[in-house]
Structure 1
Amino acid sequence: MSAEERQRLKALADQWAHSSPNAFDTCDNNVMDFKNILTGAHPIDISHAGDAENVLLTIASTDRFVASALIHHGVIPCSPISPSVAISIDALELYCVARLHNPHFSIQAYVKSICDLHGTIFHRYLSHQFLIAFNLYLHIHTHVNSLVDIALGRNAVDWHLKNTCPCCTYELEDDAPMSFKLLYAMDGNDSLKRVSHQLMGTNGDHTGPSIELPTTQRGPTDDENLCAGHWKNMDEDKTKKTWGVYDETGIFIAVCQHGFYLLIADMVQSGERAKYPLAVVAKLLNSFGAGLGGGYDIGCQFKTTLDNSILGPQARALHHSCLVGAFHGYAHQRICQLDHLATYVEGLGLEDLETCERTFSKSNALASTIRYASVFHRQQLISVYFQHNDEFDVYPNLRNFLYNHYRQALDILENSQINLSRVMQDLNITDVSMFNQWITDEKEYLQGLKSEPEQETLQMEYWQKLIHLAASQSNMDTMRSIWTSSTPSSTSFCASDAATTRRLKMTRRHALENFEKDLQVVQDLESKLRVTQCWIPSTPKWEDVGQLVAMRKYQHALDALEGLVVACIFELTKLNRSGTSYKLRKHIAKALQTRSSTIRSAFDRYNAAALSLMPPCRTLRWDEVIEYVFLADFNLLRDARQDISQRPWATPAAHQATDLYFKMCHAKEEVLHLNNKIRRLVTYIHNEEHYLQDCYTQLEPSCPALAHQISL
C-alpha cells in the first residue's frame, strides 16, 4: 500500500472515528510503545522477517485518536483501549482477497502459514486477535462504501437492488419490447447451514439455553425485518430431530438470469417453505413492478400458493409469471411442463432459469467455513462473498456471457432451419402454426384425463343414487315392521322398556330422514338429466348405465395408468435425445425411478379392475409396461376413452419437431434480447465512467480521500 493511499485511508478512519467517538479513547502522548506489533517486521509477517519485540509508532499532532494514528502507519489495532497488538493492513487485505477466492482458507490456516514461514510457534490467541482486526477492517470498508454511496447519490432504499445488473435494469428509451422486464431464478440451498450453539434439552434435543456470547454486531443488510425472529416453525417431529441441531438451515436466494444476486434470505429453523419465495416475490414486485418472470423448481405448485396468498391479486395485476427451469422441469408431469416449462413459454429466449444451480455450485465452498461460525460472522462471510462474486466474477464475465449466447442463438438459427424444413416435409406439414396447435391439443387431452365426461358422470351418479334410495326405502320398511309385544305377565314398566322404545323411535326417524334425503337427491338428478320416468331394473337404460358403472372403475384405472405412461414415454424421449447433458440424464432417470413406483400402483389397480369385469379384460405384465418406448407400443391406449396413438402430436418424431420449432423461436427471441442487453451494457459502461469522473472532479478539491475511493 502506497504512502498516499495510507494517508487517504487514515483520513477516512479519522472521519469514521468522529462518527463513533466511543470506539477508541483519545491519547495525549506524542509517542506510544506497542509491544508485539504484527507489522512487516514481526513473526506474523507477509513481506519481511524479523524478531522486533517493540515498535515505536509516532502520533502526529493532527492525530486525535489512536485509531487514526495506527491506520496512518498501516496497521489496525486488536483492542480499542490501550492496544498492544495490531495487524498490518496489507496482511488483512491479502487474507480478505485470498479467502474470497478460496472460502476454505480459514483465519487459523492463514495465521499458521505466516508463523511457519518465519519459524514462530502458533498460538490460538493469534487467530482471535487477527479476527478482531479483520472485523474492524471489513467494517471500515463497509463504512467507506456507504460514504461513497452518499457522495454518488446512491444511498436510496433498494438502489442497489434496482441497479444490480446493467443488462436487466439499465433500460434505454429505444429498447425493443420484451415479454419480461426481469427474468430471475430463486431456490433454497441447505449447504450454508449453521450449527445452533445450544445446550442439550431435557428431551435430548437442542432446545437448551444458548451458549453463544452476546454481541452487538450485526451483519450487513438493506432491510430490517421485524418478523425474522418469528420464522421458527419446525413443527414436525422428524424435522425437529433431523434439523434441530441447526439454527439457520440454509439460504434462499434470488439471482437474475446473468448471475447477479438480487436477494438473500436466511432459512431460520425450517426447511424450504413457501414463505421464503413469497417474501422474495413481494420484494421484487414492490421494487421492479410489472413484467417479472421467476423460475422455481416447484414453480407450478408455487403458482397455486401465490394465487391463494395475499400477493395473488398484485402478482396477477403486475403479470408475474411462475416458471420451471429446464433442468428441473423434466421431473414434473407433462401437463405441468406444457404450462410452466421454459421450453414452451413465449418470451424467454434461450434462458433455462437454472442460474441458482450454477451459483450454488460456487457458494457451496463456504459451507465448511460457516458451519460452526457465529450468527454475525456467517452473515458477514455470505454477504462479502456474494458482493465479491458479483464484482470480480459475474460482471467481468458478462461480455463472454452475452457473446456466447449470441453465438449459440445464431448457430441454432443456422442449423435448425434446415432440419426443421426436412422434418416438416417428412410429417407433411406446411404451416409452422401446426406446432402450437399440437401443444394445445396435447394440453386439452391431458386436462381431459382429470375428470370424466359430465353427462356420463350424472347418469352413473343417478343410477347409484337409485340403488341407495331402494336400500334406504327397504331399511325404512323394515324399521316400520318392528314392534315390541308385551303381555300382562311380561310387562314390568321398568326404565329399560322406556329406553328401548325411545331407541326404536329414533331408529325409525333416522331411516325416514335418510329415505327423504336420498329421494331429494334422486329428484335433483332427474331434473338435471331431464328424466321423465324413474328408471327401474327392467328398463334398458338401467342395464346400459349399470354396465357403464361397472366399466367406470376399470376406465378410471386405465386413465390413470395412461397418463403416467404417456408422460413417462415423453420423458424417456428427452432422456435418449442427443444433446441432453449427462447431469440432466441422471436427473431425469432419478425422477423416473421415483415415478415408476407410482406407475406400479396404477398398474396394480388396473389389473384388479380388469379382472372384476364380466367378461374380464386382459391384464398387463409389469415388464411389458415398463419397457414401453413409443406411444405406438402402448396398444392399451386404443382401449382408453380417447385413442391418441394415431394423433399427430403423439408420435416421437412430432414431439421432437415441436421442441425444435420452439427452440428456433427462442433463438430468435434471444437475438432480440441480446441486442437490447448489449446496447444497455455498452451505454452503462460509457455513462458510468463519465459520471464517476464528474463526481471525482467535484469532490477532489474538498475531500481528496473520498474522491480517491470514487476513482477506485
Structure 2
Amino acid sequence: MENEEQTLLEKMCSHHQKLWGSKRDNRTRRDRTQILVDAFAAQMGPMTSAYIDWQHDTKEDGLGKLFNHAEAAVVEDIENVYVVDLFSAYYSKVPIVEGDTYIASALVRQGLIPCAAYRSTVAITVRTLEVFRSLQLRCPRLGIQAFVRALCDIHGAAPRPYLTTQFSVAFDVYLAIRAKAHARVQTALGRDTPNWRLENACPACMYKLENETPIPLPFLATIDGNNSLKRFWRREREEFDAGGKAVPGASKERLDNRVAPGDYYLSREDVDKWSKEGLEDLMRGFVPDSEVEDEGEGGTERWQNMKEDATARAYGMYDETGIFPALCRHGFVLVVVDMIKSGELAKYGFAVTAHLVRVLGELGLGYDIGCKFGKMVRMHPALSKLAADNNLRALVGAFHGHAHNRRCQLSNLATYVSGMGLEDLEGCESYFSKSNALAATTRYATAFHRQQAITTYMKHTDTADAYQGLSLLLANKYRRALKIKASLPLLRQTMASMGVATRSVFEDWLEKEKTYLASLTKEPEHETLQMEYYQKLVNLHDHEERLNQMNGVETPFIPAPQDTTYAQAAAQTRRIETQRRHAGEVHTKTLAAVQDLEIRLGVGPRWVPGDKEWEDTAAMVTNRRYQRALDELEGLVVARMFELSKVNMSDTGYKLRKHIAKALQARSKGVKSALDTYNTAAAALSPPRTPLTWDQIVDYAFLADFDLLREGREDIREEPWAQPGGRLAMDQHFKLLRADEEIARLNLEIPRFVTYMADEEEFLIHHELRLCNEGNPTLAHQVWLQRRDRSRFNIQHLERLVKLSKEPGFTASLIRGISVNKDRHVPPPSPDDNDIEMPDVQAPEDAPIAPPHEEGGVDPDDDRGDVDVDAVADALEHILRITT
C-alpha cells in the first residue's frame, strides 16, 4: 500500500512539473550588501546624535564604563541583546528610552554598535571597536579576523565565520558614525568648505604669516606611485573565446555605493579626464611651447609603466593596482588616486598635479622621473598653461636622481636647483615603507573597504605621526643645515690651495660641465654644415657630369610613321628626353642647396678639389662615424666617472651608494654597446686605431686616466672642474648654498608652526565656549576631543623648539606671529564667557601626563636632553597664552 501511494505521489509530481514547470530562482543576492548599507544610511543621523550624546554623558569615565540611562527616562521597550565586550560576552537587557527613533540609535546611546540594521540581537561595545581601530592604525597588518579570533580566545568561544562578518558590519557602522560626527564638528567650526583640509594640511607649509620674506619655490611636494596596495578583482571563472583564448570572467563584486570618508581621494572620473582618450579634442589647435629645453632622457630610458605581460596579468587579476599619492615635504598627505589596471600612467601625475596647482598655486614637485614629467606637463594642451601661470617646477629626488644621467642631474637634481634647500623630495619612499603594511588586510578586501582602510590610515598618519614628529623633523633639518654651514672654513682652505678666488667660480664650472656634456650629444653645427656643404659639392660634381653626359647623347633618327620601327624609335627618344630633364632638375636642386649653404657658411670662392677646406672637410667626413662613436663613448664614460666620484664622497650613505652602483650597472650595457660601435669605427680608419677593451673602461677611475679624450673635440682632463679635488669643492659649495636656503625656509616654517599651535588652541577653546553658550554642550565636547588630539603634542613640540633655539647659529623666532589667514583669529573674550559652565575644558598643561620612565630606562624617541623648564614655561606663557 505504501509503495502504491509513493508511486502515485511521484506520478502526480511528474505530471505537475510537466504542466507548470519548475520555477528558477535567478536572484544572485549581489545587492544584499547595498540593502544593508541603505538601511543603516537611513538611520545614520540619529545614530550619530546618539553617539555624540553617549560620548558627552560618559566623559567622566571615558571608554571604561558603559552608559546607564537616567532614572527619570521613560523606558518604552526592552531589547535582549548579546553584547560582545573586550573581556566578556553576555546577554543584556537594553532599555529603549523615549526619544529614540530607531533601535539602532538606542543601542548606540548605550555605547553599543549593532551588527544588523533592524532588531539587532548582537551588538559590540564601542570600546572594543575603538581598541581594534587604534591597534590596527598602529599595526596595519592586524586584520578583523585575527582580532575576532583573539576575542574568541579570551571569551573561551569557538571561532565561527559569521563572527567576523558581524564584527566587520559593526566596525563599518562605527567608522561611519565617527566620520559623521567629525563632519558636524567641521561644520560647526566653519571648516566644511571644499578643499579646506588640503589648504590646511601642513602647519609649517601653509600657515603663512604676515611680513614673511618671500622665498623661491614656496611650497615643496613629492609624488610617486606604489603598487603594494593592489586589490584582487572578484570575478567568475575565466572563459574561452572561439579562438581558445582565455577571457576574464564577469565581475561578481557585490553592489556597494559607499565612498571613502574625507577628501583624500580624487575620483576615477576626475583622473580619467587626463587619459589619452580624453585629450583628443584638446590637442586640436594646441601649439606646444617650442622653447622646451631638451635635457636628455634622464632616467626615463630605464623607467617603464608596466611590461605588456605584467599589464595583461594585472588587468585580469586586479582592479586597483596601487596608489599614487602626493605628500608635502613634512610627510602630510595632500591627495591620492588609485592606479587602475595599470602602472604609473601619466594621467595619474597629471590629475594630481592639476589638483595641487589649482588649490595651492606655485610649487616645486618632486618625482622619480621629474625631468621627463616636466617636459610632458609643458607639452600638455590643458596643463601647460596652468603650470606656467603658477610657476610649477618639476624636479628629481636626491635619491632617484642619481640613477639619471649626469646631464639630467645638472638641470633637475635637487642639489643644483636654486631655492630647494636641503630637501631631498623622497618623502613618498619613507611613507610607502609604512603604508605597505596595509597590503595584508586590503589585498582581498572590497573596493570600499580598501579605500576606507587607506584613508583612515592616512588621516591617522597625518594627525598622530606627521604632526607628532613635526617639531623633531624641523629641528633635525635645522641642525643638519648648521652642520653643513660649519664646513665653510674648510671650503675656503680648499679654494686657497686651488687658487680659486671666489665661490662664483663654482657656478661657472657647473655651466662648463653642462655645456661640455651637451656638446657630446650632437655634432657642432658649424662642422655639420661644412660636411653637408662638402657632400653637396660632391653631389653637384656628379650631377654635372651626368647632365653633360645626357646632353651629349644623340637622339635616334625617327623614321616615317608608316615605318615599322617608328614606335620603338619614338619611345627611345622620349626616354632620353625624360632622363635629360630629370638630370637637369636634380642639378638645379643641388646647385640651389649648394648656394644656400654657401650663404649660411659665408663661403667666398666655391671649394674645389685640392683646396685646404676641401681636403680638411673630406677627412672630417671620413672620420665622422668614428667621431660619433667617440662622442657617445666619451659621454658615457665621463658621466660614469662623475658618478663614481659621488659614490666615493664621504657624505654619501650606504643606500645611496648601492643605488648609484645599481644604476651604473644598468648603464654598463649602454657603455658596452657604445664600445663595440667605437671599435668597429676605429678599425675602418686608415690607419686603423687601436681597439679599446672593456677592462680598460672599467679601470678608468679618474679623467686623467682617460687617454681617449686626447682624440675628442675637447680635452677636459686638465679642466679644474674635472679634477677630483675640484669636484669635491664644487659639491660642497652647492651644499652650502642649499644649507643657507634651508635655514631661510626653516626660519619661516618654525614661526608658522609656533603661531599655528597658539591660534589653533585659542580658536578651538573659543568655539567650545560658543557652543556651550548656545546650549550645545555635546558638540562642544566633540570640539574638546579634537583639541585634545592635537594639543597633546604641544608640550613636546615646545620642548624641542626651545632646545633647538639654544643651538649656536639658530636665527629663527619662537615669538607668536600674525597669520595671513584670519579664519583662526578669534575675538577677545567677553566678561560673560567666565560665567559659562564648561564641559571639562583642559589646557595642554592640564592634559594627562605620561607615566614616568623607570630609572635606567631609555626612550628612543626622547630627544629632550637637558631642557630648561623655565624656558618652556616662558614659551607657553608668551606663545600659547591659553585662558581657561
TM-score norm. by structure 2 comes to 0.73
Distance 1:454 1:407 in 2: 49
* 8 Å Cα contact 1:465-1:522 kept in structure 2: yes
Q: CA deviation at 1:237?
A: 4.2
**In the alignment, does 2:240 pair up with 1:202?**
yes
**What secondary structure does 1:700 align onto?**
helix
Aligned partner of 1:81 in structure 2 is 118
* 8 Å Cα contact 1:14-1:65 kept in structure 2: no
Aligned partner of 1:447 in structure 2 is 518
**In the alignment, does 2:629 pair up with 1:591?**
no
Question: What is the percentage of aligned positions where both structures have the same residue?
Answer: 44
* 8 Å Cα contact 1:300-1:340 kept in structure 2: yes
Aligned partner of 1:602 in structure 2 is 674
Q: CA deviation at 1:384?
A: 0.5
Aligned partner of 1:18 in structure 2 is none
Residues 45-64 of structure 1 mapped to structure 2, 5 A cutoff? 46-48=86-88, 50=89, 52=90, 54-64=91-101
Q: Give the counterpart letter for 2:451 in structure 1.
A: Q
Residues 617-636 of structure 1 mapped to structure 2, 5 A cutoff? 617-636=689-708
Q: Give the counterpart letter for 1:335 in structure 2.
A: R
* 8 Å Cα contact 1:300-1:336 kept in structure 2: yes
Aligned partner of 2:191 in structure 1 is 154
What is the aligned counterpart of 1:614 among 677, 682, 686? 686
What is the aligned counterpart of 1:110 among 147, 150, 166? 147
**In the alignment, does 2:523 pair up with 1:437?**
no
Q: Give the counterpart letter for 2:84 in structure 1.
A: T
* 8 Å Cα contact 1:247-1:268 kept in structure 2: yes
What is the aligned counterpart of 2:339 among 267, 273, 283? 267
What is the aligned counterpart of 1:422 among 493, 500, 516? 493
Q: Give the counterpart letter for 1:116 in structure 2.
A: D
Q: CA deviation at 1:115?
A: 0.7
Q: Give the counterpart letter for 1:458 in structure 2.
A: L
* 8 Å Cα contact 1:13-1:68 kept in structure 2: no
TM-score norm. by structure 1 comes to 0.89
What is the aligned counterpart of 1:182 among 219, 235, 250? 219
Q: Give the counterpart letter for 2:332 in structure 1.
A: F
Aligned partner of 2:528 in structure 1 is 457
* 8 Å Cα contact 2:418-2:738 kept in structure 1: yes
Q: Give the counterpart letter for 2:250 in structure 1.
A: P
Distance 2:79 2:124 in 1: 15
* 8 Å Cα contact 1:463-1:542 kept in structure 2: yes
**What secondary structure does 1:349 align onto?**
coil
Distance 1:407 1:349 in 2: 13
Q: CA deviation at 1:631?
A: 0.8
Aligned partner of 2:590 in structure 1 is 518
Aligned partner of 2:84 in structure 1 is 39
Compared CA separation, residues 232 and 549, structure 1 to 2 (3 A)? closer
Residues 403-552 of structure 1 mapped to structure 2, 5 A cutoff? 403-414=475-486, 416-472=487-543, 513-552=585-624
Q: CA deviation at 1:513?
A: 4.4
Aligned partner of 1:25 in structure 2 is none
Aligned partner of 1:356 in structure 2 is 428
Compared CA separation, residues 436 and 201, structure 1 to 2 (3 A)? farther
Distance 2:203 2:770 in 1: 25
**In the alignment, does 2:138 pair up with 1:91?**
no
Distance 2:148 2:570 in 1: 93
Distance 2:254 2:523 in 1: 63
* 8 Å Cα contact 2:485-2:740 kept in structure 1: yes
CA-to-aligned-CA distance 1:656-712 (integer Å, 9 cap, x gap): 111111112222222222222111111100110000000000102422121111001
CA-to-aligned-CA distance 1:27-63 (integer Å, 9 cap, x gap): x99224345x2333xxxxx123x5x4x4211100121
Residues 248-259 of structure 1 mapped to structure 2, 5 A cutoff? 248-259=320-331
Distance 1:437 1:545 in 2: 33
What is the aligned counterpart of 1:703 among 776, 781, 791? 776
Aligned partner of 2:259 in structure 1 is 218
* 8 Å Cα contact 1:205-1:241 kept in structure 2: no
**In the alignment, does 2:455 pair up with 1:386?**
no
Aligned partner of 1:191 in structure 2 is 228
Distance 2:678 2:721 in 1: 26
CA-to-aligned-CA distance 1:449-503 (integer Å, 9 cap, x gap): 2332222211100111223334455666777859899999995999x99999988
My pick for the range that moved more, 162-171 or 536-545, is 536-545
My pick for the range that moved more, 295-304 or 690-699, is 295-304
* 8 Å Cα contact 1:14-1:68 kept in structure 2: no
Distance 1:417 1:357 in 2: 31
CA-to-aligned-CA distance 1:235-276 (integer Å, 9 cap, x gap): 974353242222111111110111001111111122212222
**In the alignment, does 2:173 pair up with 1:101?**
no
* 8 Å Cα contact 1:13-1:67 kept in structure 2: no
Q: Give the counterpart letter for 1:556 in structure 2.
A: R
Distance 1:351 1:13 in 2: 46
Query: Alignment length, in residue pairs?
Result: 683
Q: Give the counterpart letter for 1:706 in structure 2.
A: L
Q: Give the counterpart letter for 1:554 in structure 2.
A: Y
Unaligned runs of 5+ in 2: 1-45, 56-73, 277-304, 786-884
Aligned partner of 1:21 in structure 2 is none
* 8 Å Cα contact 2:419-2:741 kept in structure 1: yes
* 8 Å Cα contact 1:13-1:71 kept in structure 2: no
**What secondary structure does 1:188 align onto?**
coil
What is the aligned counterpart of 1:164 among 197, 201, 206? 201
Distance 1:99 1:484 in 2: 99
My pick for the range that moved more, 521-530 or 603-612, is 521-530
Compared CA separation, residues 214 and 567, structure 1 to 2 (3 A)? same
Distance 1:242 1:328 in 2: 27
Give the aligned CA root-mean-square deviation in angstroms: 3.0
Distance 2:535 2:690 in 1: 27
**What secondary structure does 1:189 align onto?**
coil
Q: Give the counterpart letter for 1:113 in structure 2.
A: A
Unaligned runs of 5+ in 1: 1-5, 16-27, 41-45
Compared CA separation, residues 478 and 101, structure 1 to 2 (3 A)? farther
**In the alignment, does 2:450 pair up with 1:369?**
no
**What secondary structure does 1:217 align onto?**
coil
- Which structure is larger by alpha-carbon Rg, 1 or 2? 2
Compared CA separation, residues 311 and 457, structure 1 to 2 (3 A)? same
